[in-house]
Structure 1
């Protein structure tokens, strides 16, 4: 988008220079060609002050009106210099006509475009009758039809680009809707981390309530903190699900979110977590879908540890940049007896596997050399 804005800025600067140059030239040339230069200056001015998306109709209407008035009322000379201004006017009007047709959606806008095409059709009749000898009427009509054909081509290209833009907008809307549905299906993946922490802390509080009330009170404080974090995650997800939200984005913006996630897990559990992120990844700016998928892999892995392996004491989270992929590994020291009896991943893991596959990656979970191991490979 910034590239398009920069291009539009350069177009405006360029047409602004053309307005100054052509305006000064027109003043000097007016003694020779009279009013023949005026429509070209107005068409150039229309491009310079063009303001998308609605002012295009007004600028095209003014440029077409000036061109038609000059074509009807012109009584100056039919010199080569006047013909040069006619050529400049034709090119600029075709550009203005094309730009207007790219945005037209109402009958009024279509009528203005038709008027612009009509103005181009009339331009050969401005100088033809004043030539010596006058150009035959049938030749002028044929030339006008040729100019009208060029106008039709400019309009056709504009309408084609309009349809391309509409299809692109529809594709974006469909993708956003798919994202909203995916977020709705996998909502528990984002909130389950903190909810699981609340459950574990509540169980611990019940266990020590009679023998150590202070430990139970501390657990209640941790439950409150985890609940507040869960509500914050829920609020953020609900915002993303709102239909009117026009800036939908994935939950994770960069790999710093993973550091925050690991810190929160450590604070709400007794496990020791080692986080190892390649320095290269900290300077990369991958697509948001990639960072969001990495975030979800770590969330699901830690949530499953909390569900199925609360006794795990040591957990390691690694993120490696092995060109051209991102490698993620989450390992815990689940005892061998629990490794072989551990239940399979639930709906969250299945949904995550599908999500990573849609990005061209793979995910695998199973017993490793020293416990349970989750690995994911995602193209950067």
Structure 2
């Protein structure tokens, strides 16, 4: 009905929903308002019409007009205070007119309805102004129809004033309740924000520690390996030793990149996903391993954990190919998007199959299979006639967005 009568309910800071108590009270007030419409209609029929056709038609017309204005005030879309005040004042004046035309009719009921609405749904100043206007009209009607005008007016003023004050106190109680509810929800939101800030601060501290330990250590390792390579070249060491040192340098560089990504994740930055695979493949090419990327279908949104699983699986497969496939190997990364799933397949072929015991990159296939299973996917890995193949299938949720009318194939 207005900022008050419609009960603008506070929004919960946690779930975005309205206050339950305010919603219940809002429904009860609206139900009582509609019930009074029926009560006035029944009272009109029970009281009959005054003598004379003109008075009878006027009584019916004014009663219908008063009920129409009351129904307008009950509409949820009527929120402007001036419109609501005018509708309620019109209802009260219609009651005064009915009381003047037919003293035994339901005019006093319409007047009391308007008083209750002004007290409960309209701010104090416009509400008191509306009460004054209604009291003038209702007092004139009572004085005109009563044998004791002064007593009738005083009785009406006392009854209407008490009803207005009761409704106003109810509105104050309701406002205090909604305000306290909003304060409680604000306090809960503040507490949750503080806890989240504490978690982020701890993650930031861990990120700094990880950067200091891993990144600095790996940087020093890369420098030492470069010195070992130069020494091996100057002393005429076995070429296989120099090649192993080069492979170790590449692993150290990859470790620094992975450490930076881990730090970014701890700091709350976006998790890597399929959209970062071209950059990963380009980085792998720069390290000396030929890689071809083939994308079939139109990419679609994936949950962050599913996208991370795809990225880590391709990253691990490329790392394994660089370590074990040997010179002359080529790798193909195929991404196949369908309506319901994304399949990422990494296949290496050729090469002299170096199988020396090089250290793992830290994202073993077993751990990746567990990560994929937790996200609802499946990872398979095994040898082929010419090399090794890793296949990851991740489901695409139905809420990921509309399916494009036709797919496209991109190769690089």
Provide the TM-score with structure 1 as the length reference.
0.47
Provide the TM-score with structure 2 as the length reference.
0.44
Q: Greater Rg, structure 1 or structure 2? A: 2
